[in-house]
Amino acid sequence: MQTVALNNGIEMPILGFGVYQIQPEQTEQAVSDALAAGYRLLDTAAAYGNEEAVGRAIKNSGIPREELFVTTKLWVQDAPAEANTHRAFETSLAKLGLDHVDLYLMHQPYGDVYGQWRAMEAVNREGLAKAIGVANFYPDRLLDLILNNEVTPAVNQIETHPFFQRTADHDLMREHGVQHQSWGGFAEGRNNLFAHPVLGEIGRTHDKSAAQVVLRWLVQRSIVTIPKSVRPDRMAQNFDVFDFELTDAQMARITALDTGTTLFFDHHDPEMVAWLSKRRLDS
């Protein structure tokens, strides 16, 4: 498996398995199938409600812990943010049944971001989170966090796919040593992604699917990606993207698909900010 080196030297697989929107009752089997297919990066979150199922799959897999890279995420915390962040982290760790996670991400750029980040820095210093980072941070918020804190985020996980390519975000992250990670790499099939004529035509030249072309495009941009599926055949197909390479011309054709606009929700939209900021998780 190809890896990327994070800014603290930790190696992270460039391709992993995400469990967003997989129901808890399906998650254990899905993760078990993904591990059997060769995935070693697992990405979950407190907000997904399936950390316990991920933990069971890890425990039952028999795979040595040091071979796995496990990510979970912190939801927006009420004041006092530092104390509640520690409590939320301990809850996630207990649900996963682990003594540490490899990456802990702040899921949303809202609430007392600095209090939350200070607490995350503490669990990082204690070795309970080998690396810490953020998700859904636009360049202005990311740079502000970098400039005003001790630890630079190791990762920023953001919506990234052929129709929203985040080039400016990517360049800023590279400049400051933050690893770009994609969520929604398949755009959840929007804009006819799986049957898109450009992606399909490129795929046929390599005997690959449109989905494999998208994953290869992300890998060649050095972007970590975490496709999800509950079907073992699709998991295997998504994993099979390291035996071909897109040409410069093919990369340019995909670049031309960028609309520069989210296909899901805008973190600058006041209504979305209010909704995300007010949402609380059941403990």
Contacts of 125 (CB under 8 A, 6+ apart): none
- Among this protein's residues, is 48 annotated catalytic? yes
Counting every residue written for the chain, the total comes to: 283
Vertex 74 angle, CA 178 and 176, to 5°: 10
**Active-site hit among 48, 104, 110, 114:** 48
3-state secondary structure of 181: strand
Tokens 């190696």 belong to: 11
Neighbour-count burial of 9, counting CB atoms closer than 10 A to its CB (0-12 exposed, 13-18 middle, 19+ buried): exposed
Tokens 């996630």 belong to: 92
**What are the Cα distances from residue 190, in Å, to 156, 185, 194, 264?**
23, 11, 8, 10
How is residue 119 written in tokens?
A: 């607490």
Q: How many helices (H) and strands (E) does the chain have?
A: 11, 10
**What are the Cα distances from residue 270, in Å, to 79, 92, 141?**
21, 29, 15
Q: Does residue 163 contact residue 257 with C-beta atoms inside 8 Å?
A: yes
> What's the maximum distance between 2 C-alpha atoms anywhere in the chain?
56
How is residue 13 written in tokens?
A: 């697989």
Q: Which residues are annotated as catalytic?
A: 48
